[in-house]
Structure 1
Amino acid sequence: MISSSRRGDVGAAVRVVPDSPYSAICVVVARGYLDDPVSGAGLAHLFEHVWFAHELDAPTVEWGETREHAVVLHHVCPPEEVPAVVPALAQRLLRCRAALPDAMAPRVAASLRLIALERRTGRERRVFGFPRRDIARALRGDPGFDPVAVDTDGLRFDDITSFLTGRRLAVCVAGPQASPLPSPEDLLAAFAVPPDQDGTVSAPAPALAGGWTVATDDVEASATAWLLPPTVDVAAAAWLAIGLIERCPPPAGLRWVSGRVVSPFGAAAVRGGHLFAVAAGLADGPAPDLVHDHLLPLLRGDLAQFDAVRATTDATRIEAADQAAIDAIDLIGPATGHDAVRHAVREASTDTMRDFAELLAESPHADFRARAGSRR
Structure 2
Amino acid sequence: MFHLLLVIIYLAFISLGLPDGLLGAAWPSMYQEFQVPVSYAGIISMIIAGGTIVSSLQSDRLTLRFGPGRVTAVSVAMTAAALFGFSVTRSFLPLCFWAVPYGLGAGSVDAALNNYVALHYASRHMSWLHCMWGVGASAGPYIMGYVLSGGGIWNTGYRCIGLLQIALTAILFLSLPLWRDRPGNGRDSATRQEEGGGAGDPAPAVPLSLMQIIAIPGAREVMVTFFCYCALEQTAGLWAASYLALHEGVSTEAAAFFASLFFIGITAGRAASGFLTLRFNDTQMIRLGLALILAGILIFFLPLGGNAALAGLIIIGLGCAPVYPCVIHSTPALFGADRSQAIIGVQMASAYVGTCLMPPLFGLLANHISISLFPFYLFVILVLMFLMHERLLKKTRR
Place the TM-score, normalised by the shorter chain, in its bin: 0.3 to 0.5
Report the TM-score, using the length of structure 2 for normalisation.
0.31
Question: Which protein is richer in strand relative to its size?
Answer: 1
